[in-house]
Structure 1
Amino acid sequence: MTASTTSTFPTQAVVLAGGQGSRLRPYTDDRPKPMVEIPGTGTPIIGHQLAWLAAEGVTDAVISCGHLAGVLQEWLDSADLPLRVTTVVESEPLGRGGGLKYAAAHLPHPDQPWYATNGDIWTRFSLREMASFHGERDATATLALARPRIPWGAVETDAFGHITDFIESPPSPYLINAGVYVFSSAFTSLLPDRGDHERTTFPRLARERRLAGYPLPHGAYWRAIDTAKDLTEAAKELASATH
């Protein structure tokens, strides 16, 4: 790969870390959701995310804080971080799209593409490959797509109604928004100042065929940390991956 090719990969990112994480209580009673630790790692979710972004070539990250922002900022000030970090706090709620636009305004290179990720995502895959996919399709925005496992056992039947099999936690038949994005520089101006971009900007881009979906590669790890059970499962999966 030539130097001119590698320079097209984004080197800046926004991390959305303002959620209250009400379903993760009591873990989130005294800290924001991204500051919850994966059991056994000694590092909060946001720490794992920043390490992943840095390993993928990101040198600057803007973290959008909200709920208990001071706890997150204090950890960032004391941590040995692998990249430059700026934090922003909305003075009033702007909605998901408005918050993303506000954070993006603090990126160091507004004329260059950027990554974004939700602060409660625990994942590992090649962001560079996703950026290449984004560029090949000349997209304005690209969403990573995951196929999470259904948390219940599934039952298969034949045409006559006989049960033929039981499948424990099968993959969903549907792809979902995995909460990781590649955005072209032009995307920022399309975001609403207030409100939800997933109800405005994304549908508009989809109609114009400027929105791409990047399926996570087979075997890539992905989990949204929404509940205490997710924390437990992530710790188990991490432990099994290291043995």
Structure 2
Amino acid sequence: MTGDPHSHRPTQAVVLAGGQGSRLRPYTDDRPKPMVEIPGTGTPIIGHQLSWLAAEGVTDAVVSCGHLAEVLQEWLESADLPLNVTTVVENEPLGRGGGLKYAARHLPHPDRPWYATNGDIWTRFSLRDMAEFHAERDATATLALARPRIPWGAVETDAFGHITDFIESPPSPYLINAGVYVFSSSFTALLPDRGDHERTTFPRLAREKSLAGFPLPQGAYWRAIDTAKDLTEAAKELAAQTTG
């Protein structure tokens, strides 16, 4: 590889921030989901995301808005942000894949790799390591993979049916799509103009062995903010980190 040895590390990202967040009502009655604040921080979810992206070397972000877009745009214009932000609004619903493609067309460097993240994810891990992982596998797309905790207590039994243990909120036995991605520049053209890339583009890349999965490092913080309980848990975890 010639030139910059870190040229495969993206400096641009798309943040998908158009969700309605119906399960987060009443918090989302007057704001889009990414504008909901983590209690005790005074900063909306997207503010935490943009700070993380900037700390990981991102200089330009495209924020794809939808539901109550003007609330998000107004905050972005007034906030002291650590990177350049452009907002785009879909005039008509394009689906997740179409929306991602539309936003990607506004990236400043279409010939370079890029990150993408769902606007309701609050996480911290090394995107640089994920970009290295992506480049080493020569992947077209790489998904971050999380192992969330099951919200219920689990019960263990022996072969005879006796209960042997109770485990509170155990880790899931399955990895899930963590909503953070690294994409090669060629990925944009593979996205549908309308529709869901997770039903079309991703399965195609998986068949071609061009889709990679990056397991989040042990101990990395990750939480999807879907419900009011998630907000409460995130605030508790943040307080524990601060006092720990």
SS of the residue aligned with 2:186? helix
Q: Extract unaligned runs of 5+ from structure 2.
A: none
SS of the residue aligned with 1:179? strand
Tell whether 2:207 aligns with 1:207: yes
Distance in 2 between the 1:4 and 1:21 partners? 41
Distance in 2 between the 1:51 and 1:142 partners? 22
Aligned to 2:103: 103
Distance in 1 between the 2:123 and 2:208 partners? 29
In the superposition, the TM-score normalised over structure 1's length comes to 0.98
Distance in 2 between the 1:5 and 1:27 partners? 45
Alpha-carbon offset, residue 5 of structure 1: 2.4
Aligned to 1:239: 239
Aligned to 1:41: 41
Alpha-carbon offset, residue 4 of structure 1: 2.5
Distance in 2 between the 1:73 and 1:141 partners? 29
SS of the residue aligned with 1:212? strand
Distance in 2 between the 1:148 and 1:182 partners? 21
Distance in 1 between the 2:90 and 2:8 partners? 30
In the superposition, the TM-score normalised over structure 2's length comes to 0.98
Tell whether 2:14 aligns with 1:14: yes
- Structure 1 residue runs of 4 or more that deviate by more than 3 Å after TM superposition: none
Q: Which amino acid aligns with 2:193?
A: D
Alpha-carbon offset, residue 63 of structure 1: 0.2
Distance in 2 between the 1:126 and 1:103 partners? 24
Aligned to 2:117: 117
Distance in 2 between the 1:175 and 1:5 partners? 31
Distance in 1 between the 2:7 and 2:145 partners? 25
Q: Which amino acid aligns with 2:82?
A: P
Q: Which amino acid aligns with 2:213?
A: G
Q: Work out whether residues 8 and 135 of structure 2, in 8 Å CA contact, stay in contact via their aligned partners in 1.
A: no
Aligned to 2:145: 145
Alpha-carbon offset, residue 55 of structure 1: 0.1
SS of the residue aligned with 2:4? helix
Distance in 2 between the 1:162 and 1:5 partners? 58
Alpha-carbon offset, residue 27 of structure 1: 0.1
Matches within 5 A, 1:70-219: 70-219=70-219
SS of the residue aligned with 1:76? helix
Deviates more, 1:120-129 or 1:6-15: 6-15
Alpha-carbon offset, residue 126 of structure 1: 0.1
SS of the residue aligned with 2:115? strand
Distance in 1 between the 2:145 and 2:42 partners? 28
Q: Extract unaligned runs of 5+ from structure 1.
A: none
**What percent of counterpart residues are identical?**
89
